[in-house]
């Protein structure tokens, strides 16, 4: 592969770099390393720096299999891992099935702020693609580095490599052999290093057979077995970390043409590998770090005769000072957000905002301000307990946001706490996905499988109150659930207690194949929206009823039209009014106790007194 320098002139000549291109979209053509020479701008060792990866089908097509992809920065003979993801089972993209095709793309973001001292100047951006058969089908990526030097004022001093297995991983031949790879690391803290943490990325692979669990049941290691590691600092254990991820059945890329819903050893097909972070005390000058793995035995299986493999990367990061006492950061708007995959990016009647406590003191209250650009802003007070370093997604029930064009309007959110020492990280804005729009009296039509007791359906209002629910179904029958509600924002939730949806190809013979759709009647025709039955544990469908998101559930009032009692409601300045008696030319917002108009609700169906 040709290697060339990628440097945008603006970004290479300013210390205030906002976006730097690491590589345009490039298809993988072989298993192994794909390396790009890059010159990054010089900048302060502060702030937030995000690696943005866009993953998609390669020019020759998408691969069926879940492969490991590592992103590294190589500088001065040392490799630093930036992030890791596992590709989805992309057979549906390759074969144009279930709403996918070969144009599929998804964006992943990795926080690489801790590596900013080395993410400057000349180096190599290396992508290790763990897939095979790349000439026939594969994946491809583009990569950018986004920087905001004011987001976090804590200066990073050093990033010290501790453990690095390489992209193929360390084989767990025996517990004794693995111990030789995890030898104790010694280092010294410098006088100005007042805070430190270990950043670690781990994923487990392989299908060797092991019975070393409390139940003595067969497990395939390392992919399908729950194991742990420990870290000691100066001989004191600072963490015992289980390597098990149980949310694969809620992958943002769904459905997939494989066993994507099953829990695995710290990874899921189609998702990034979530890194670990552990604080380290800097009080002593001379220090040791010791990484130890759970001991277990294994033997070859019909699915794999080689040792389990663990891909391990750990760095020690030091900072010039401890975090500020009080610092709340609004890290992202989860929903509504057009950049978030639709499974999590759709919303109606609420905003989901992610906050992080960047300070050293607990935070118990946050005030959020929110609204559409150019429209009225509202506030919401959250109370709870957010410990230092912790992140939380807060659901904000929204008041009426106004009327707007959903293609161009931006939602703006800010988070405020008393005594905040850094206001530069308190704001975020986003373009929005538009949720489903339903009209008249919609129906959920659901075909159950052979085990209907696994299925439950709820309809929730904008405050997450359950206003309708269904939990008794017959096996392998269609059921019509009528959603009879006034205009407004709602969320329909379909649950499966076995976490394998209404249809999962590997279980369809045993459990039956269900289906579901939403329908309503309009102008003498039935409008139907097909829904995905292979959804894992839960399928959430936010929707507007009686209007389109950003619009109004009533037609605009006309000054030259006469209105009578019983006529359809009208809209004026974002409020819906109902005629009390005959009216001609009387402006609705001028109505009083004895006048022609009665205010009913805001245009989105929400009550006027809230």
* Of 20, 44, 27, 18, residue with least CA distance to 154: 44
Q: Are residues 134 and 158 in the same domain?
A: no
Dist CA 202 CA 501 (whole Å): 29
As beta bridge partners, residue 575 has 572, 602
- Span 347-401, pLDDT tens digits: 999 999 999 999 999 999 999 999 999 999 999 999 999 999 999 999 999 999 9
Looking at residue 13, its pLDDT comes to 30
- 608 lies in some domain: no
- The backbone torsions φ and ψ at residue 571, rounded to the nearest 5 degrees and listed phi first, read -115, 140
| Paired tokens of 461 | 């209002």
Instruction: Return d(Cα 555, Cα 142) in angstroms, integer.
Output: 45
Can you say how many angstroms the Cα of residue 542 is from the centroid of all Cα atoms in its chain?
17
Question: Number of C-alpha atoms within 13 angstroms, CB side, residue 454?
Answer: 21
* Together in a domain, 139 and 167: no
Q: What is the secondary structure of 109-163 as a DSSP string?
A: EEE-GGGTTTSSEEEEEEEEE--S-TTTSBEEEEEEEEEETTS--PPEEEEEEEE
550 inside domain: no
Alpha carbon separation from 570 to 145, 178, 523, 553, 557 (Å, rounded):
49, 73, 20, 9, 5
The single-letter DSSP state of residue 22 is E
The single residue listed with the structure tokens 């020479």 is 37
Dihedral (C-alpha) 341, 342, 344, 347: value to the nearest 10 degrees?
140
**118-138 CB burial, b ≥16 within 10 A, e <16:** bbbeebebbbbbbbeebeebb
Token output for 429: 């804005």
> 162 and 272, same structural domain?
yes
3-state SS assignment for residue 162: strand
Indicate whether 72 and 170 sit together in one domain.
no
In a domain, 22, yes or no: yes
Q: What does residue 469 show for φ and ψ, rounded to 5 degrees? A: -150, 150
Domain end marker among 497, 512, 545: 545
One domain for residues 452 and 572: no
The last residue of a domain, from among 431, 447, 477: 431
Q: What DSSP character marks residue 253?
A: S
Phi, psi of 342 (to 5 degrees): -60, -25
Confidence (pLDDT) at 610 = 61
On whether the CB atoms of residues 241 and 230 are closer than 8 A, the answer is yes
Question: 381 lies in a domain?
Answer: yes
Residue 511 is encoded by which pair of tokens? 């459990």
- Domain match, 578 and 520 both: no
Whether residues 100 and 237 fall in one domain: no
What CATH number does residue 312 fall under? 2.60.120.230
CB 244 within 8 A of CB 265: yes
Residue 598 parent element (H or E): strand 597-602
- Provide the CA 588 distance to its chain's centre, in angstroms: 44
Query: What pLDDT score was predicted for residue 134?
Result: 82
Q: Which parts of the chain have pLDDT scores under 50?
A: 1-17
- Please check whether residue 408 lies inside any domain of the structure: yes
609 inside domain: no
The residues, ordered by sequence, that sit 6+ positions from 481 with a Cβ below 8 Å of its Cβ are 443, 444, 445, 446, 457, 468, 470
What contacts 87, CB < 8 A, 6 or more positions away? 55, 63, 65, 66, 67, 69, 131, 139, 269, 270
> End of a domain among 153, 175, 204?
153
Three-state SS across 358-403?
CCCCCEEEEEEEEEECCCCCEEEEEEEEECCCCEEEEEEECCCCCC
Q: 532 and 457, same structural domain?
A: yes
Q: Which residues contact 176 (CB under 8 A, 6 or more apart)?
A: none
Place of tokens 């003979």: 77
CA–CA separation, 601 vs 541, rounded Å? 24
Whether residue 309 is contained in a domain is answered as yes
Of 144, 40, 145, 122, which Cα lies nearest the Cα of 75? 122
Q: Are 454 and 425 within one domain?
A: no
Distance between CA atoms of residues 319 and 157, nearest Å: 5
Contact 62, 166 (CB under 8 A): no
The pLDDT score that the predictor gives to residue 130 is 95
Residue 513 lies in domain: 436-545
The answer to whether position 294 is within a domain reads yes
Per the structure block, which two tokens stand in for 75? 């500088």
How many domains would you assign to the chain?
5
Q: Which two tokens stand for residue 438?
A: 């339903």
| Domain co-membership, 267 together with 179 | yes
| Neighbour tally for 196: CB within 10 Å | 21
**CATH number, residue 404:** 2.60.40
294 alpha carbon, distance to own chain's centre: 30
β-sheet bridge partners, residue 81: 72
Q: Is 527 exposed, middle or buried (0-12, 13-18, 19+ CB in 10 A)?
A: middle
Q: Which pLDDT score, from 0 to 100, does residue 136 have? A: 84
- Residue carrying structure tokens 């990569």: 143
**Residues 411 and 467 occupy one common structural domain:** no
Are the CB atoms for 43 and 19 separated by under 8 Å? Answer: no
175 shares a domain with 305: yes
Structure tokens at 392: 């939380």
What stretch of H or E contains 344? helix 342-345
């Amino acid at each position: 592969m040709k290697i060339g320098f990628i440097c945008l002139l603006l970004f290479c000549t300013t210390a205030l770099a906002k976006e730097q291109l690491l590589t345009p979209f490039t298809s993988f053509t072989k298993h192994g390393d794909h390396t790009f020479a890059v010159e990054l701008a010089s900048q302060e060792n502060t702030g937030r720096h995000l690696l943005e990866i866009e993953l998609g089908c390669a020019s020759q097509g998408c691969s069926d299999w879940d492969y490991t992809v590592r992103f590294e920065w190589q500088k001065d003979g040392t490799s630093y891992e930036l992030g890791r993801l596992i590709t989805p089972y992309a057979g549906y993209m390759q074969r144009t099935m279930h709403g996918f095709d070969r144009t599929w793309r998804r964006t992943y973001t990795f926080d690489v702020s801790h590596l900013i001292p080395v993410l400057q100047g000349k180096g190599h951006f290396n992508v290790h693609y763990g897939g095979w058969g790349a000439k026939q089908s594969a994946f491809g990526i583009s990569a950018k580095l986004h920087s905001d030097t004011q987001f976090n004022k804590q200066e990073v001093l050093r990033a010290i490599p501790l453990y690095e297995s390489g992209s193929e991983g360390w084989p767990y031949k025996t517990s004794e052999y693995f111990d030789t790879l995890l030898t104790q690391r010694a280092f010294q803290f410098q006088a100005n290093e007042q805070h430190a943490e270990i950043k670690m990325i781990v994923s487990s692979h392989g299908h060797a057979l092991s019975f070393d669990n409390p139940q003595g049941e067969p497990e395939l290691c390392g992919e399908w077995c729950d194991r742990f590691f420990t870290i000691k600092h100066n001989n004191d254990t600072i963490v015992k970390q289980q390597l098990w991820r149980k949310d694969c059945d809620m992958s943002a890329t769904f459905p997939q043409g494989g066993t994507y819903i099953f829990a695995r050893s710290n990874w899921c097909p189609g998702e990034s590998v979530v890194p670990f972070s552990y604080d380290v005390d800097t009080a002593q000058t001379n220090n040791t770090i010791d990484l130890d793995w759970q001991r277990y035995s294994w033997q070859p299986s019909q699915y794999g005769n080689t040792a389990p493999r663990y891909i391990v990367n750990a760095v020690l990061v030091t900072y010039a000072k401890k975090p500020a006492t009080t610092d709340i950061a609004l890290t992202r708007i989860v929903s509504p957000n057009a950049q978030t995959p639709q499974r999590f990016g759709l919303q109606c009647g609420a905003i989901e905002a992610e906050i992080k406590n960047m300070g050293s003191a607990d935070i118990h209250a946050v005030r959020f301000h929110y609204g559409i650009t150019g429209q009225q802003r509202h506030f919401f007070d959250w109370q709870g307990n957010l410990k230092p370093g912790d992140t939380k997604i807060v659901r904000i029930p929204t008041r009426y946001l106004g009327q707007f064009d959903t293609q161009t309007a931006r939602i703006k959110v800010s988070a405020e706490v008393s005594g905040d020492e850094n206001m530069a990280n308190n704001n975020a804005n986003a373009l929005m996905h538009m949720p489903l729009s339903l009209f008249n009296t919609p129906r959920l039509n659901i075909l159950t499988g052979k085990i209907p007791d696994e299925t439950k359906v709820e309809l929730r209002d904008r405050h997450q109150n359950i206003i309708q629910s269904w939990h008794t179904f017959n096996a392998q029958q269609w059921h019509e659930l009528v959603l009879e509600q006034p205009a407004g924002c709602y969320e329909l939730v379909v649950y499966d207690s076995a976490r394998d949806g209404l249809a999962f190809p590997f279980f369809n013979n045993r459990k039956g194949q269900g289906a579901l759709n939403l329908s309503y009647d309009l102008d003498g025709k039935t409008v139907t929206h097909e829904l995905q039955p292979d959804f894992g544990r839960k399928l959430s469908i936010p929707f507007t009823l009686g209007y389109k998101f950003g619009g109004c559930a009533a037609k605009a009032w006309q000054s030259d039209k006469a209105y009578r009692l019983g006529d359809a409601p009208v809209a004026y300045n974002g409020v819906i009014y109902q005629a009390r008696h005959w009216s001609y030319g009387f402006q609705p917002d001028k109505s009083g106790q004895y006048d022609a108009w009665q205010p009913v609700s805001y245009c989105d169906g929400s009550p006027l007194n809230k």
